[in-house]
Structure formats: C-alpha cells, structure tokens
Amino acid sequence: MSDIVVGVIGFGTVGKGVVKILLNDREILEQRTGCRVELKRIVDLDTTTDRGITLPAGMLTDDIAAILEDSEINTVVEVIGGENPARSFIEKALEAGKNVVTSNKEVIAKHGKSFTDLAKKNNCTILYEAAVGGGIPVLHAIRNSLSANRIEKVFGIVNGTTNFILSKMTETGADFGETLREAQALGYAEADPKNDVEGYDAAYKLSILASLAFRCSVSFNDIYREGITRISAEDIRSADRFGYTIKMLAMGINHPDAIELRVHPVMIEKNHPLATVSDAFNAIYIKGESLGESMLYGRGAGELPTASAVVGDVMNLAFRGDTAFSRDTEFALNERKVMSINECFTSFFIRCVVDDAPGVLAKLSNIFANNEVSIQAIQQIDAEAGKATITIVTHRVNEEKMRAALNEIEGLPCVQEVASVIRVGLGDEQL
C-alpha cells in the first residue's frame, strides 16, 4: 500500500484523539511509515459541537456514504462503540476491500471471527489493538512477539472504572456506593455504570484476549461473570487482615483439554504485581511456556492513550505494505471446550454472620468436611449483641462442592447471613 487514506467514523472522546494525532503528527507518521498518511473524512451525527480542533472545510460530515463509498479511502477507523450500527459499518467497509481499525471491544468480542473471515475473503485487514487495554500493546504482543509460546494463562485488570473504585475503597475505607459516586463525578464511571461494575466490559475484553492467546473461538456468552457491586468496606478490611487485596480480574487459563474463562473479584496476595495496580490503570499478566511470566502495564482508557493504539494500528497497515491480510490477524483457529464454572477449582473467602452461641463453628466445619471443603484459615471477629462474624479462607476446592456447602450453611438456623463469598488467588498451582 503506497498511501494510507483514512476515514474516521465517530468524533467522540477517542475519535477526537485519533483526529488530533493524524492531523498534528502527520509529518512524523509519514517519516516513520514511508508513505502518505492522510485523514480525508470524519463522520459523526453531531457536526456542530466545537471539539477544539480546527478542521479543513468539508472534512466533517454526517453522511456515512462519504467514507464507505469513497474509493480513495482505503482505511476506515471505527470509534463509535457499541454493537450497532458499528457492526454494519465495519462489514460494509470490509466488503468494499477497505482495511478497518477499531477500538470497539463489544463488536469485536461478538463478531471478531466473522470480521476476520470477511477480511480474508476481500483481501483486507481488521485490526483492534485499542479494544483491550487502551494504550497497552497487549494484542500485538500476543499475536506476534509471543506467537512462539503456548500461552498458559492470561490474567488482567482490564477495566479502569472497577480498578479505580476498588483502589479507592482500599485507600479510604469507604463503601461501594460512596466510591461509585466519586468515580462518576470524576468521569471514570458512566451515569449508568452497569457495563463496568457488572463485568460486561471486562468479559468482552477477555473474550478477545482468550481468542488470540489460546488460538480458539470464544463466545462472550461462555464467560462466567460477576461484578463488584456486592464488595463492601468490610470485605476490603477482611482481605487486608488475611494479607490480600481485592481486584476485579479477567482470567483465562489454558488447560490441556479445555479453557477456563471467568471475570469476577479476586483476593490476591499483596506481593503480587497485579495487587499494586491502582487508580484507573490496567495491567495484563501473561504466563507463557517459553516466556515465563510477564506483565504489561499502562493507562487502559482515555482520549490519547486509546487513540495512540488506534493510530498505531493505522501505521501497522502501512508497515505491511501491499500485503493486506496475514495469518496473525485471524481471530480464531480451533474449537476448544470452555469449562463451566462448576468444573473450576479455586480457593474461597467466606464471611458469615452467625449466632454467638456454642457449637456454631462445629456445625460449619461439619458441613465443609462433608462437602470435601478444606479450611485453610478461620477468624471470629465483632462478637456482640448475640451475633458474631466468622471469616473463612478455604484451600482449593471444586466450585460445585463449594456451592453445595454454602447452600447447606445458608439453611442453618444459627446462620443469620452469608455476607460475602469471594474467590482467592490466581490458581498458580493449577498448571
């Protein structure tokens, strides 16, 4: 490809960042790629809001055909987000033989394989580095630098909103609701934070990570998901007493006969590198057969970090030259079984409010023993007014057996509430 002629769909936060880089750093981009890099058109429904950028006359329009039907535009950047109409725009661009760069994790998680199949058919490429980790080059690393590895594990703090909330709860001792409101006031969380705090965003990103890392087809619907809405200040304090920090993790484990995929809060040891990732930063921990352990760290969102990854993909297209489609961009190659959550093994933290009476601990212990749940540590705290709080950390146990034990415990007359159930550890002993 001798020239890169770009059309940008979406002029919001990320789109604005992309436009800034393409216009302000054009000379640098052309020096590094050895070809012309031209931003020709921007399409957005809102053509009147002042974004603080001076654009050439006629560059901004609300007509999508100005990009999709322009034969000179060979690279389409989609940064509107969401599944629709982004899916339709991407498909039409690929059908026209145009390369596509997107930061849209939802549409890639749901339709990545069909997009890469379409790109292959029409001898073009779709790249989506910015869909996971913002400015962190994790997908390129997995596709290229680590391609000689059998990747055994991919763990990630991949949502800045939830990491900000949990970090602030740890620092201040505040509860979830109070910290969420602070995150919303600072712009880290949306007015409707469900996509972040319920784990959907992280699950989209894990779907993409696992598909590339394990070279297999992963459905978003096969990923087990829990959010952070039930994490309390008391959970944070309890984790600290046991030497843990609570983080929201996307976890992928490559077993010989299946893959394990889950998104949920995890208590991790304070000395693990992921435990030190605070504020709205992201980090992805990778364990490869030859590589060993590695971690990539940086800003996982924001105008310019995400735009940096988007424009990096545009430059990657230029570096590829006239070879549009290459095998490293294929989204999935193999079919693999995804384990149900009931088949997984992990340790657990349990916090129970019980009657402050003789024999309660013995009843709990008997139920755990009958369900083959081994206890690693137990503490009783805050005994007052006829009730006590008991915190328990188990050894690794099958999820189904743990659930059976908890169902029995919840049915005991002496148990007032099972207040918290949080998974513990990164499963290092599983491989």
Q: What positions carry a catalytic annotation?
A: 205
N- to C-terminal Cα separation, the chain: 44
* Three-state secondary structure call for residue 59: coil
Question: 378 and 359 in contact (C-beta within 8 Å)?
Answer: no
Count of C-beta atoms within a 10 Å radius of residue 420: 20
User: What's the rounded Cα separation, in Å, for the pair 297 and 380?
Assistant: 38
| Range list of H helices, 214-333 | 233-241, 303-320
Greatest CA separation found in the chain?
81
What are all long-range contacts of 87-93, with beta carbons under 8 Å and residues at least 24 apart? 87/111, 89/9, 89/64, 90/115, 90/126, 91/115, 91/118, 92/68, 93/67, 93/68
User: What's the rounded Cα separation, in Å, for the pair 51 and 258?
Assistant: 48
User: What's the rounded Cα separation, in Å, for the pair 214 and 293?
Assistant: 16
Q: Can you tell me which residue has the tokens 């309890």?
A: 238
Polymer length of the chain? 431
* Three-state secondary structure call for residue 424: strand
- Eight-state DSSP code of residue 256: S
